[in-house]
Amino acid sequence: KMPFWLALVPIAFPALKTFGVGRSAFTVSPNETTVFDYLVSAPTSYGVLTHFWITGSPALGPGTDNTTVRFYVDGEEAVAFKPPMAAGVGFDDNAVWGNSKIGHGSDAGGWYINIKAPFQSRLRVTVALPGRSAQCFVIVRGCENLPVQVGGLTLPRQAVLRLHKIVATTFAPGEWVNIVDVPADDKQPNGLVYMTAIQASSRSNNFWEGCYHLYTPHDQQFPGTVLSTGMEDFFDSAYGFRAGPYRFPVSGCTHRAEPAGGGMAV
């Protein structure tokens, strides 16, 4: 007989508590409508938004992807995260596709976001549809005290998801474009770029030859860390997005119109 040893290691699991709401067939209008307002159950707890889904009947009609979703974190008045429904999921098309984080589950709606967003005490979610009213359906899900990991990094519980955006801005040929510019300070000594998306149109497709540079620390000298030698490299394609629209687990070109100048989203 051979001896057999079994080692038991005690593991302390966090006190998980799920929360959420399902709102069916309510009216969304140009005015903000609160669809979910949640306070964590204890002062020592924190919350994490894990899933958001929205659709309409039928798909809110024209302008579905312009429905504005606002996520207010910890009682703030200036919203931290305010994407149009389709931001980062696709623009100007009805293609059905998705991955573990974002997607569009129907040619008549079904947008979802599974990007985890921590908050310390309170989360309020609102929706608004510019220009008109329509019927809407929403699901919000989350969990208290859920660790949030990005790659192999566990984020501190005080982490906050922020949306940085450039809207309807024209850039000259050769001009430097700050996709995101967040210097560190005492309140925010560290940060992480989680996702980037671009919707652009031009009379020339030469803009996709732009090279991505990462400057960390913020005052790092040129060229910083060269992330790509062209926009298509950064989004895991090649030769001017030669294959047309594609959707990979962590990258893609979700929309492309021809000829040049028709616009694209990556």
Residues 115, 223 within the same domain: no
Does 136 reside within a domain?
yes
Residue 173 sits at φ, ψ, to 5 deg, of -55, 130
Does 9 reside within a domain?
no
Residues 121, 194 within the same domain: no
Does 234 reside within a domain?
yes
Closest CA to 65 of 235, 199, 180: 199
Residues 132, 194 within the same domain: no
Does 12 reside within a domain?
no
Does 159 reside within a domain?
no
CATH code of 120's domain: 2.60.120.1390
Residues 35, 99 within the same domain: yes
Q: Last residue of a domain, which of 97, 116, 149? A: 149
Domain coverage including residue 187: 164-266
Residues 105, 169 within the same domain: no
Helix (H) or strand (E) holding 225: strand 225-226
* Arithmetic mean of pLDDT over the chain: 83
> Which amino acid, 211?
C
What is the spatial distance between Cα 105 and Cα 196, in angstroms, rounded to a whole number?
21
Q: pLDDT, tens digit, for every residue of 22-71? A: 999 898 889 999 999 999 999 999 999 999 998 876 545 555 566 788 88
Q: For the whole model, what pTM was predicted?
A: 0.83
Residues 211, 266 within the same domain: yes
Q: pLDDT, tens digit, for every residue of 163-196? A: 888 888 899 988 999 998 887 777 777 888 888 8
Residues 186, 244 within the same domain: yes
